[in-house]
Each structure stands twice: as structure tokens, then as C-alpha cells.
Amino acid sequence: MASSNVTLLKPPEAPGNLRSFRRRKVTVKVDIANAKGDGILGDSIDLGMGGFRFCSKNALAAGVEAIAKIQFSGGATIRTPVKVVWQHSSEGLHEHGIRFEKLSNDDRFALLDAVYARAANKPLASVFDGAWDTVAKDGSSSLARALSPVHHAYYLKLIRRIEHIHSLSEAQTDRLLFAILQQGEKLADTLLTMELTSYDKLDSYLAALYGVPYLNLSITKPDAAVADLIPESIAFSQNIVPIKQVNGKYIVAMSDPLDLPGRDLVSLRTKDRFELRFCFIDDIEKAAKDVYQAASLHSADRLIDKATAVEGPVQLLPESTDVTDLETLRRLSDATPIISLVDSLFRSAIEERASDVHLEPMDDTIFVRFRLDGVLHQMRTLPRNILAGVVSRIKILARMDITVRHVPQDGRLSMRYNGKDFELRVASLPTVFGEKIVVRLLEKNPTFKTLKAIGFSERNYELFAPLIRRPHGMILYCGPTGSGKSTTLFACIQEIHDGTANITTVEDPVEYRVRGINHVELNPKRGLTFPTVLRALLRTDPDVIYVGEIRDRETADLAVRAALTGHLLFSTLHTNTAIQAITRLVDIGVDASLIGASLVGVVGQRLIRKVCEWCKESYTTPPSDAVVLREILHVEHAPLKLFRGRGCAHCHDTGYYGRSSVHEVVVVDEELARLISAGADSKALADCMTKRGFVDLRADAISRLIAGETTLSEVMRVTV
């Protein structure tokens, strides 16, 4: 542990800011240690509910996660996770900004007591006079959303400015700091909740901060037609977004209207014909993302409309025209606006974490839908008359036949975006309104999560983890299409991939390419089927085999044979439960005694959407939900509180962001193997598992509900 005796100095402040940061008059000892044991010992500066600042002769790098031990003058001590948000060095001293990552309720009130009650020599309740409604001791406050270092620094600076301009008390400032930096609340909402201003006066309250009008971007949407005013890279790096043009002047929003380089840039780009507006940084980021995406599509639409109006090599044809001429299709697909449009769609899909892009022609328009966290969301519409050009462009990229429109086709293409390589699998389907295109996006070299990070509960992990290290046997994964089976199995393979085993995958098609692993892709036209590849594979000295799917008896027989002859084999089956996977093998025609001898484990999996951490809130369980929990899900004691997402820009107002997996794990021991070999039906197998405390998918999902990770409706959607 590195330590230092530090003489704390007043940190350097911006010119004109004469405010002392030693306003608390509360000194506490802080000992910070990271996972490696490196740390700093010193005194806090500017201790508040969001975090604290301190100086030392030793430095911790920005981004380091650590544990802070804080010792109060009265003898109380708390230990809490923290993160170094920023670090500044000057004249041999290192100043740090430290953010509290997850304060418990006890720690939170210990801090409140140290910062306010002891300094004021008053009881804690009298300091706040019951006004701190968002910090309830019953734990019902909404959980924090993680702020980026940029956002953290921005709101810290902005709240200090609010304190200065509107003469807030220290208690009011810290309530703002805690609500914004720790709980992730919206600043405008918190100002109203704390009654620092009223709804009618909110705009003028915020306008006073910088002397320019405040603009609510949730009400006023930027015009894509003026997006070219500020280059996209500058808009995101300097938090500037053009809004619209009014009477010859441009309305431009900035997160910091005092940013002189930013103002100079706006002045230069507008020839000094502009009016500034003040907006919050996260609102500007969302608006910039929307406006530049819309601008790209708007530009394509505008050029397409122009091309439609005149004759020329890129003229688009009426909706009813049946385009069959190869050269015409190529000219349509090579049109600059079409290229821009298709590229923009693919970029947007990657940025939005979409797994699939759907282009669906209707009688008068084209729907563009992204599959986000397993659910389709309509993102926008396209003009109907560009269908032939868009479809042809995608087909050319995917090496498909652009003249064949009445027969389904498959293709693929590769693209690089933000330093990552992606494979896009394209499928076309003829419909009554034209060809529908579906594009699946797969990262080529993803960083696979560990089994624990994928979502295994502690109990299921302890059951399943030893199975993947068996020297031989068959492990089956079951679930519907899109339930994450392949991703989890590749995580298993990655976990045992240490360079000492010959690992081969047989897939249709290959989903992920992992360095050091042999991948075989099926091609029935060339005779590469699951059975033929498996027979050949068994002659190449494999240790671990992954078969993408068991579809027929021949493949199943070969898989069982491989597991019985000293190989560890992973595969998948499309069944609803883990126990049904066992009986499915029997139904296919595999000898039950061979199944019992080769099978070591079966896992059932579903993907369940997680509550968005940016807008997560708790609520009292209503009677209707309690009835559902009791009568349908058979939960004896319904939790008093559940969690949900209010809906925000991060989750597209759905209340969900990201997915986790829920599981049921069947470990085949001697008793269960005897039942399987004897041909026991699914009921007998289920009864055997129940006696051992088997946790099924529904029970695992309910545990996630109670833990606040997901919602009741999501549990019902996935498991009922």
C-alpha cells in the first residue's frame, strides 16, 4: 500500500471563481485501495453525497475502480466502492475526483450525518426537515444510472454554477449532487422536486445560468435540413447541435454557452448570423445523434426526389414498374443517395445494438425496423419508389443475384465500423409488395462474456461449470431460436480454450470465428452435411466438438458415438425445456441406453430483457401483480416492491436496456442416467429432478424479478 502524509492545498480554480472548496468544515480520513493494493491515504476535500476530492503526492489513474475506507471524527467508518473520475497533476501534487459507485442506505446516512448534522450540531432530521424524499430509508429510491466521466464532470460544474447564480445553500447543493451524480435523476425534474423553481419559471431559471434562453429538446426537435451547418464530428466532440433557421438566423444549442472556441466556431460557420440556446449535455447528444442520422436519410430522400423528377442515368421508376433489366438495376443501386442510405442504415443498426434489420415493403412505403433486445422497433419509413434501388444495393454487396426477385436468396457481406469487424447475413423474401430484406448483424471477433457474466445464478453456475471440464460426454443446450444458445456455448468453449485441446465447430453457418479453433461450415450442395462432416471429424483427433444443431437421427447417433468414444461434445436442440431435450433424442430414434451413457448435462435457456439502469425506479407491488405472482407464477409471498423503467432516450422509451439469460440446469448423475436408459418419460424424469430441488426457468426468472433486474411482464412473456 502506497501512502503519503499530505499537506492539502486549495486546488487551482478557474479564473473568476473565487469560491473556496473547503466549505464543509468537515475533515475525514480517506484510504483508497484498488484491486492490486495500490492506494492513497489522505484527507477529503469537498465531501458531498456524490463523492469527494482530495490531493496527494501519489496518483491513481482516471477510471480506476477501488474501495474507499472513510473514517469520521466520531469513530464511525464506512467502506464503499468508488471510481476515480478524473485526475489532475500540478506542481508535484495530484488532485482526484472520486465518485461513489454504490452507497448503501446506512453509508448514505452516515455521510449525511457527518457532512451536515455534526457540522451544524443539529439532529439529521432537522437539517433536511423531511424534504429529502428521494433518500428513503426503506430502500425504495430508484437505483443510480452510471454517468460517464464526461457527464459527471459536466453536471458537477453545472450544479456549482446553479449554486452560485441562484445562491443555493450547502444542503441544497448536495441534494442536487446526490440526485444527479448518484441517483441519475434528471436535473430539471430534480429542480422542480426540490421546489427550487416552478414549472412555469423553469426556463427562465435555467436561462439565468448563462444569459441565453434554455431550450427543451424533448419538445423542440432539430431540423435535419440545417445539420450540415456543424460537422458531425465537431457536434459530438464539442456538444453543439444546430436546431433550425428562423428569419435568416440559425438557432444553435450548446451544453456550455461559455465555451469560447465553440462559440467562435458557430460564428464562423454561420457568418455571425446565429442565436445561442442552452441545453443539457445528454439532450444535445441524443439530438445530435437523431439529427445527423435523419440528415443522412433526408439527404438521400431529397436527392432521390430530385432524381425522380428528371430523366438521367439514375432515374428511379414508378412503384408499379417491374424492373428486370440488369443495367437499370445496377444504375439504381449505384446512385449516390442509395449508397448513402444503405450505409446509414447499417451504421445506425450497429450503433443501436440491433441484432437484425428488417426492410419491409408495403403498398405505399417501406418500413425500417430494428430488433433491439429481442423485440422489433420501427425506426423510420422510406419512400416506396426507392425499393428497387435499396434492394439491389444490398444484394450487390451480399453477392446475390439482383435479377432474381421471385425466389428467396441468401448472401453475406462484411463491414468495419468503429474499429470492429461485422458480418452481415442477408436474406430476401418475395412478398406481395416486393422483396423483403432481413439483415442479421454479427460481430466477427467478439469478446465473449464469462459464464458468470452471461447470467448464471450462483447455484446454476456451480452445477454447470464442472460439466464443461469433463474429459468426455455430451452437453446439450435447448431453447427456441434467438435464445442465446450459441453465444453461451461459445463462452463455454472460450473458457476451456487454453491451447492444449483440438477444438472444432460444425455450423450452418459459422457464427463466430475464434482464433485457435477450427470452424467448419456446412454446404449441402458440396456434400458437407452434419453427418458427413462429423464422420470425417472423428478421424482428425478432436478433443472438443461443437455441433451447431442436432436435426436428425443420423446426426444424433454420431454425436452420441463421439461422446462415448472419449470426446466432449456440445450441441443444441430446439425444445422448450431441458427435460424435453432428453425425450426428443428418444423420439428421433436414438437408443435410450446410449443417451443415458453419453449425456452428462442439459441446459435450458431464455433471454430476458433487463430494466434500463438509466430510468430504473421502484414501485409498490399493486394487487393485480400480486395476484399474477400468486395464482399464475405460484409465488407464495409477493415482494412488496418491484422495479420498472420509466422510459428514456437510452432505451427508446421502452424501459428496457440489454438482456440477461435465465437457465435451468439438469446434471445427469447415476440415478437419472438409469431412468433415461430405462426409457422413462418426461414426467418421471421431472419428478426425479423435483425431488432434488430442481430450479426451472420460471423460478430462475422470478429470482431476477425479485432482485430488480427485470419486470413481471417480461417474466410472463418469457416463461408462461
Cβ-proximal residues to 76 (8 Å cutoff; 6+ apart), any chain = 110, 114
Question: What gap in Å lies between CA 449 and CA 369, rounded to an integer?
Answer: 27
Please report which confidence band the pLDDT of residue 299 belongs to, taking 50, 70 and 90 as the band edges.
low
The neighbouring-strand residues paired with 89 are 94
pLDDT at residue 326, as a whole number: 56
pLDDT-derived band at 358 (thresholds 50, 70, 90) equals: very high
Mean pLDDT of 502-520: 89
pLDDT tier for residue 248 given thresholds of 50, 70 and 90: confident
Residue 606, pLDDT score: 93
Q: Are 357 and 346 in contact (CB under 8 A)?
A: yes
Place of cell 430509508: 137
State phi, psi for 67 to the nearest 5 degrees. Answer: -115, 125
- How many Cβ atoms sit within 10 Å of the Cβ of residue 481? 6
Pairing label, strands 503-507, 544-547: parallel
What lies within 8 Å, CB to CB, of 576 at 6+ separation is 478, 479, 480, 604
- Dig out the grid coordinates for 144 from the structure: 443510480
More confident call, 289 vs 596 = 596
Cell of 181: 451524480
**pLDDT category of residue 139 using cuts at 50, 70 and 90:** very low
Q: How far is CA 157 from the centre of its chain?
A: 27
For cell 443415458, name the residue.
Answer: 596
Distance CA 390, CA 345 (A): 11
Q: Where in the chain is the domain with CATH 3.40.50.300?
A: 451-719
Query: Which residues make Cβ contacts (< 8 Å) with residue 105, sequence separation at least 6?
Result: 137, 139
| Residue 346 clears pLDDT 50, i.e. is over it | yes
Closest CA to 71 of 102, 137, 26: 26
Query: In sequence order, what are the residues at sequence separation of 6 or more whose Cβ sits closer than 8 angstroms to the Cβ of residue 350?
Result: 417, 418, 422, 441
Residues facing residue 604 across a β-bridge: 478, 664
Under 8 Å between Cβ of 374 and 659: yes
Query: Residue 24: pLDDT above 60?
Result: no
| One-letter identity of residue 649 | A
Give pLDDT tens digits for 324-335.
Answer: 455 555 665 555
The residue to which cell 439502469 is assigned: 613
**Cβ neighbours around 50 below 10 Å, total:** 26
Cα-Cα-Cα-Cα dihedral sign, residues 517, 523, 526, 532: positive
509: cis peptide before it, omega within 30°?
yes
Distance of CA 149 to the CA centre of its chain: 18
User: How would residue 137 be classed by pLDDT, with cut points 50, 70 and 90?
Assistant: very low
Confidence of residue 14 (pLDDT cuts 50, 70, 90): very low
DSSP per-residue letters across 676-702: HHTT--HHHHHHHHHHTT---HHHHHH
Name the grid cell of 32. 483508497
Q: Where in the chain is the domain with CATH 2.40.10.220?
A: 29-143+150-163
Residue 23 pLDDT grade (very low, low, confident, very high; cuts 50, 70, 90): very low
Residues 39-70 pLDDT 10s: 677 667 667 667 777 777 788 888 888 888 88
Lowest mean pLDDT among 176-185, 307-316, 489-498, 511-520: 307-316
Region 177-183: mean pLDDT is 77
Residue 24 one-letter amino acid? R
| pLDDT level of residue 592 (50, 70, 90 thresholds) | very high
Kindly indicate the confidence band of residue 635, based on its pLDDT and cuts at 50, 70 and 90.
confident
What are the pLDDT digits (tens) for 444-473? 877 777 787 788 888 999 999 999 999 999
Give yes or no for a contact between 108 and 134, defined as CB atoms under 8 angstroms apart: no
The C-alpha cell of 441 is what? 448483424
* Predicted pLDDT at 116: 52
CA–CA distance, 226 with 270 (Å, rounded to integer): 11
2.60.40.2130, 2.40.10.220, 3.40.50.300, 1.20.1090.10: which CATH number matches 29-143+150-163? Answer: 2.40.10.220
Per-residue pLDDT at 410:
93
Residue 226's alpha-carbon distances to 216, 255, 381, in angstroms, are 18, 18, 21
Amino acid at 51: G
pLDDT in tens, 527-553: 888 889 999 999 999 999 999 999 899
82 vs 68: CA distance, rounded Å: 6
CA angle at 299 for the pair 296 and 302, rounded to the nearest 5°: 150
Beta carbons of 368 and 345 less than 8 angstroms apart: yes
Q: What DSSP element (H or E) covers 675?
A: helix 670-677
pLDDT of residue 96: 81
| pLDDT(595) > 80 | yes
Reported as a pLDDT band with limits 50, 70 and 90, residue 7 is very low
Q: Are 45 and 21 in contact (CB under 8 A)?
A: yes
Rounded Cα gap, residues 66 and 30, in angstroms: 12
Name the segment(s) of the chain with CATH classification 3.30.450.90.
311-443
Backbone φ and ψ of 53, nearest 5°? -120, 150
Contact present, 582 and 602 (Cβ < 8 Å):
yes
Note whether 37 and 1 are within 8 A (CB): yes
| Least confident stretch, 359-368, 411-420, 581-590, 697-706 | 411-420
SS3 599: strand
β-pairing verdict for 641-645 and 274-278? unpaired
- Residue for grid cell 430523366: 311
What is the reported pLDDT for 494? 87
Q: Is the pLDDT of residue 120 over 50?
A: no
Structural fold of domain 451-719: Rossmann fold (3.40.50)
Evaluate the CA torsion angle 615, 616, 620, 626 in order and state its sign: positive
- Domain 311-443 sits in CATH 3.30.230.10: no
Residues 557 and 578: their CA atoms lie apart, in Å, by: 19
Residue range 651-655: average pLDDT? 83
**Contact predicate 595/677, CB 8 Å:** yes
687, 704 Cβ separation under 8 angstroms: no
Does residue 399 have a pLDDT over 60? Answer: yes
Judged against a pLDDT cut of 80, whether residue 310 lies above it is answered with: no
Name the H helices within 167-231: 170-177, 187-193, 202-210
Please say if the pLDDT value at position 432 is more than 90: yes
- pLDDT at 333 (0 to 100): 56
d(CA 109, CA 170): 16
Q: What is the pLDDT of residue 594?
A: 93
CB 543 within 8 Å of CB 565: no
| Global confidence as pTM | 0.61
Q: Can you tell me the distance from the alpha carbon of 473 to that of 506, in angstroms, rounded to the nearest whole number? A: 17
DSSP 394-457: HHHHTT--TT--SS-EEEEEEEEETTEEEEEEEEEEEETTEEEEEEEEEESS--PPPHHHHT--
Element (H, E) at 611: strand 599-611
Residue 131 has pLDDT above 80, yes or no: no
Average pLDDT over residues 518-531: 89
Mean local confidence (pLDDT), 161-184: 83
Cell numbers that stand for 94 in this block = 495530484
Cα separation, 449 vs 453, in Å, equals: 6
**Is the model's pLDDT at 598 over the cut of 80?**
yes
Which residue type is seen at 320? S
The region of weakest confidence among 256-270, 285-299, 313-327, 591-605 is: 313-327
> Grid coordinates in use for 525?
450442395
Range from 138-142, 353-357, 462-466, 678-682 carrying the lowest mean pLDDT: 138-142
Closest of 543, 335, 567, 388 to residue 474, by C-alpha: 567
Task: Inform me whether the pLDDT recorded for 294 exceeds 50.
Answer: yes
Q: Which of 405, 282, 281, 425 is nearest to 349 (CA)?
A: 425
Name the residue with higher pLDDT: 298 or 87.
87
| Residue 301 reports pLDDT greater than 80 | no
